[in-house]
Chain A
Amino acid sequence: MRAYLPAYELQRPASLDEALRLLASAPGEWRPFAGGTDLMVLLEAGKLEHRKFFSIWHLDELRGIEETIEHITLGALTTYTELQSNETMRREFPMLCVAASETGAIAIQNRGTLGGNIANASPAADSPPALIVYGAELELVSARGARWIAYEGFHTAYKQMRMEPDELISRIRLPRASAGDNWKQYYRKVGTRKAQAISKICFAGAARLGDGQIEEARISMGSVAPTVVSCTKTASILRGRRVNKETIGAAQGEMKKEIVPIDDLRSTADYRLQVSLNLLEDFLLSLER
């Protein structure tokens, strides 16, 4: 343990309202602390710069999975374990369930939360590409009220998010139409080992076909840019095309412009680019399988 523990605070507000009041009392001074699977690692390494936190782990207002005809709504504290064990999630949003099952091992999945994963804003996180493909929306709450925003575009730069300092992510909503039976889904995480690896590339894609043509496609990738990337141009040039060599080439050409992978201690820019293109090809070919 390299942190100087006496310098850290962790409050335990009695309710969500109290938590929001604490947030509002001095915006930016207090930050939420959920399952701790990212923050505790930083603390241990002596790299957790922020010192004042409040725990939200015990706030039942932030838990639970609700289903309506149009949406599945997940409390921000939905753990990876809870997410995967929900029948509807497994049936309609399998990419998110696979992402959850490939994030750490069971002990991590019991503590890691979807809201925490979003707020931690790591470009290597496993769930954001799936969330983007599913057209997820976030509910942000504050003492001032609540608002829904699209998740796509939420991360604006490395570790930067489109939310106010007094706001908290409270729910994540997935439109069920985004993943109906006529959508084919493809998710692949490339890590260094089979279990509990941090991704080197994470690919999520979905497409709807009609008459042998791609009517609509969505593609998102992790670990290939400072934030999760929504490959909108790549997806849009696929519209109205059949899967063939030209289509694959054109899509790969677009993707090259949309991602900016780097060298780091886990992999190389070269590898990330090549494998991204390979996965794109495999995704497109999978539409025909």
Chain B
Amino acid sequence: MPEATEKERSGKVVVRCTVNGRDAELSGFPMARLLDVLREELKLTGTKEGCGEGECGACSVFINGKIVNSCLVPLMQVEGARVVTIEGIASDEQLNAIQEAFIETGGAQCGICTPGMVMAAVNLLDRNSEPTESDIRAGLAGNLCRCTGYMKIFEAVVRACQHSGVKR
């Protein structure tokens, strides 16, 4: 295939994985950041870059159910992985309980940290459906927010637990 040869010459690779439940073939340099590939190849721009060094959490995604900083994951390492981004959190028009709670409590202000923060909160509740305040603080400590002072975000997590408590 001429396309493959072209990619070989350019040093690019093709990696197969699933993204938000769909099969995906991602092409890029082997060291390309998953963050960039998601945003540029798949146009999944909900995943944000805040620092590029794993400090702010704006680029949080799930790989095989675990939360990671997509700015620190090279494309080559997502071969065969299940990737979930913020675009995979709400099902169609039905928001996740965390997303609803963020809107209700004012957990989102400028919104740039919000997708990552929502991912961290969803991940926290997946691991622990009844987090204490200190669990919430620890669970979100990898996600920096400069607008809220975090209070409304804590409230959102608590409210989401209450709303979804029965279901869990």
Contacts and interface: CB of A to CB of B under 8 A. Distances in A.
Interface residues of A, number: 33
B131 interface: no
A72 to B, nearest CB: 23
Contacts of A1: 33, 36, 52
B71 interface: yes
B142 A105 contact: yes
A58 B142 contact: no
Contacts of B46: none
B23 interface: no
B67 interface: yes
A40 B29 CA distance: 14
A111 B142 contact: no
B31 A104 contact: no
B69 interface: yes
A40 B73 contact: yes
B115 to A, nearest CB: 13
Contacts of A3: 31
Interface in B25-71: 29-33, 36, 52-55, 57, 60, 66-69, 71
Given A41-B54, A196-B141, A8 B71 contact: no
Contacts of B94: none
Interface residues of B, number: 34
A53 B53 CA distance: 19
Contacts of A11: 30
Given A45-B53, A108-B54, A5 B67 contact: no
Contacts of B79: 12, 58
Interface string B124-146: 00000000000001110111000
B126 to A, nearest CB: 12
A93 interface: no
A40 B71 contact: yes
Nearest to A51: B31
B74 A33 contact: yes
B77 interface: yes
B2 interface: no
Interface string B72-100: 11101101100000000000000000000
A106 B71 CA distance: 15
Interface in A1-28: 1, 3, 5-6, 8-12
A43 B74 CA distance: 10
B142 A40 contact: no
Nearest to A44: B52
B30 A10 contact: yes
Given A40-B54, A105-B57, A105-B141, A110 B29 contact: no
A36 interface: yes
A38 to B, nearest CB: 9
B18 interface: no
Interface in A51-66: 53, 55, 57-58
A12 B10 CA distance: 18
A107 B32 contact: no
A111 B74 contact: no
A37 interface: yes
B17 to A, nearest CB: 12
Contacts of A194: 141
Interface of B: 10-11, 29-33, 36, 52-55, 57, 60, 66-69, 71-74, 76-77, 79-80, 120, 123, 137-139, 141-143
